[in-house]
């Protein structure tokens, strides 16, 4: 069964004890998927923490980070006390062995280099 990066991130976050909601939706009028504020696919919460997650493939991860840093609402999210991460998924494993999905997590902070 083929799973999307969003489904893999949902599973990962739930295993880490978060309650998770999907915020992206398909806009049938214009034929594209839209994220909350243009950068949030998932919101995850647990006591004392609210986490915004953008999920993608590992090869697109740096482009997503760059995009997020150009969206004013992402800075407002951080200033409000939310955490912001980008999950980049890829299959990895030794040659000749079964490849498994792995998640590279990039934390975006107000201290991040080149923010805006």
CATH number at residue 53: 3.40.1350
Q: Please state, as a whole number, how many other Cβ atoms lie within 10 Å of the Cβ of residue 47.
A: 5
Q: How far is CA 35 from CA 53, 54, 68, 94, in A?
A: 10, 9, 11, 35
The verdict on residue 113 lying in a domain is no
Structure tokens at 102: 């792995």
CA-CA distance, 30 to 78, in Å (whole number)? Answer: 30
1, pLDDT greater than 70: no
Instruction: Give the total number of structural domains in the chain.
Output: 1
Is 103 a residue whose pLDDT tops 70?
yes
User: Residues 6 or more apart from 101 whose CB is under 8 A from it?
Assistant: 3, 8, 89, 90, 91
**Do the domain assignments include residue 116?**
no
Domain that holds residue 25: 5-108
14 pLDDT exceeds 70? yes
Is the predicted pLDDT of residue 6 greater than 80, yes or no? yes
Convert 2-40 to b/e letters by CB count within 10 Å (16 or more is b). eeebbebbbebbeeeebebeebbeeeeeeeeeebbeebb
Q: How confident is the model over 32-47, as pLDDT tens digits?
A: 888 899 999 999 999 9
Residue 79 counted as domain residue: yes
Q: Are 5 and 57 in contact (CB under 8 A)?
A: yes
Q: So what's the pLDDT on residue 3? A: 85
Q: Tell me the two tokens of residue 21.
A: 């909601």
Residue 80 lies in a domain: yes
In a domain, 56, yes or no: yes
- pTM (2 decimals)? 0.87
Assess if residue 115 is contained within a domain.
no
């Amino acid at each position: 069964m083929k799973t999307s990066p969003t489904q893999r991130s949902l599973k990962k976050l739930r295993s880490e004890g978060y309650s998770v909601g999907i915020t992206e939706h398909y806009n049938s009028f214009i034929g594209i998927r839209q994220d909350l504020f243009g950068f949030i696919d998932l919101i995850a919460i647990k006591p004392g923490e609210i986490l915004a997650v953008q999920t993608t493939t590992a090869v697109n991860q740096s482009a997503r980070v760059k995009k997020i840093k150009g969206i004013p609402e992402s800075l407002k999210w951080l200033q409000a006390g939310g955490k912001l991460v980008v999950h980049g998924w890829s299959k990895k494993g030794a040659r000749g062995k079964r490849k498994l999905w792995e998640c590279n997590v990039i934390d975006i902070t107000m201290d991040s280099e080149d923010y805006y």
